[in-house]
Every structure is written in structure tokens, then in C-alpha cells.
């Protein structure tokens, strides 16, 4: 469990550091083009989730975050924490939730600052915490799928 905590603290710290740097460097709603036509750094406060779902529902999102952290702690035995990949996945998810939770409690929004786009098509701006959550969940899904495949292969064939 100590590796999960270490990864979570590192993710939350990196998230808070990058948001602090962005807030210090860019005023709200400002953007700075890094790769023309593809990537900009922005300072966009977000009171919701991706695509501004649940916009202005900060308290609800704080409660959901706390419940998610509690559930992950209570059901941690369902993660195969003796295996490195599972520890990494849980650490990334936990750190990401904590990083955004700190913002929601402290400033009542998260700061999104990574903005990718091609012409009029764009992905919602996001931050380090969002990335950690998505990568952690993706990793968790892959590990779960691999476990299911391995379990099926180890079952004896049923003959008729």
C-alpha cells in the first residue's frame, strides 16, 4: 500500500505544482499557443467535469470525490496490490482524484490548462490530475482484461 500512497502523493504534488505555475503565468481565460493549430496552454477554471458536465456543481463533485476515495480504500483488497501494475493504476487514480479535490475545496474549481485542437475540432482542456485518472483507469481496464483472459486459459476444457 505504501507504493500506492507514494504514487498518489507524487501525482497530486505534480498536479498542484503545474496548476500553480499556470495560474502564475497566465491570467484566467488567457491562452498561449505552443504548437500552432494543435496545442495551447490555457488557464481555464472548470467548475464541472469534462465537457463542463455538472458545471457549477462543485459541492456534488467534492462529495463524489470523497466517496470514490473512500470506496477505493474500503475495496482496496479487490486490487491485486502485490502486483506492480495494480499499485500504479490505483496510485494514479487516487493521486488524480486528490489533486482535483484539493482545487475544488481550495478555490471551488479545477484549473484546466492543456488544450489540444486541430482547426475547429478540439478536446476539452484538462490537467495532470485528469490525465492520471484516465491513464490509471485505462491501465486498470487492461489489467482486468488480461486477468480475465489468463483465468479463462487456466480453466480446464469442458469435454462433451
The model's pTM: 0.88
Question: pLDDT confidence of 141, banded at 50, 70, 90?
Answer: very high
What is the rounded distance in angstroms from the CA atom of residue 141 to the CA atom of residue 75?
16
Query: Is residue 60 situated within a structural domain?
Result: yes
Query: Is residue 152 situated within a structural domain?
Result: no
Let me know if 103 is a catalytic residue: no
Query: Is residue 27 situated within a structural domain?
Result: yes
Let me know if 130 is a catalytic residue: yes
Query: Is residue 85 situated within a structural domain?
Result: yes
Q: How many domains does the chain have?
A: 1
State pLDDT tens for residues 118-131. Answer: 988 999 999 999 99
Query: Is residue 153 situated within a structural domain?
Result: no
Query: Is residue 17 situated within a structural domain?
Result: yes
- Whether the per-residue pLDDT at 110 is higher than 70: the answer is yes
Catalytic site residue from 15, 56, 103, 130: 130
State pLDDT tens for residues 24-53. Answer: 999 998 999 999 999 999 999 999 988 778
Query: Is residue 159 situated within a structural domain?
Result: no
- Whether the per-residue pLDDT at 83 is higher than 90: the answer is no
Catalytic site residue from 15, 56, 103, 112: 112
Domain that holds residue 30: 2-147
Average pLDDT over residues 50-79: 90
Higher pLDDT, 154 or 37: 37
Q: Count CB neighbours of 117 within 10 A.
A: 13
Cα-trace Rg, the chain = 19
Question: pLDDT confidence of 160, banded at 50, 70, 90?
Answer: low
Give the per-residue pLDDT at 29: 85
Phi, psi of 41 (to 5 degrees): -90, 135
- Whether the per-residue pLDDT at 150 is higher than 90: the answer is no
Query: Is residue 32 situated within a structural domain?
Result: yes
Amino acid at each position: 500500500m505504501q507504493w500506492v500512497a507514494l504514487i498518489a502523493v507524487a501525482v497530486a504534488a505534480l498536479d498542484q505544482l503545474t496548476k500553480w505555475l499556470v495560474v502564475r503565468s497566465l491570467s484566467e481565460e488567457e491562452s498561449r499557443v505552443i504548437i500552432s493549430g494543435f496545442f495551447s496552454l490555457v488557464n481555464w477554471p472548470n467548475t464541472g467535469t469534462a465537457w463542463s458536465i455538472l458545471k457549477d456543481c462543485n459541492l456534488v463533485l467534492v462529495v463524489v470525490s470523497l466517496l470514490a476515495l473512500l470506496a477505493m480504500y474500503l475495496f482496496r483488497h479487490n486490487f491485486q496490490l502485490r502486483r506492480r501494475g495494480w499499485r500504479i493504476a490505483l496510485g494514479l487514480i487516487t493521486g488524480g482524484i486528490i489533486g482535483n479535490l484539493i482545487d475544488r475545496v481550495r478555490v471551488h474549481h479545477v484549473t484546466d490548462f492543456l488544450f489540444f485542437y486541430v482547426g475547429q475540432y478540439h478536446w476539452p482542456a484538462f490537467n495532470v490530475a485528469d490525465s492520471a485518472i484516465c491513464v490509471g483507469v485505462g491501465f486498470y481496464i487492461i489489467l482486468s482484461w488480461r486477468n480475465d483472459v489468463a483465468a479463462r486459459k487456466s480453466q480446464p476444457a469442458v469435454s462433451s
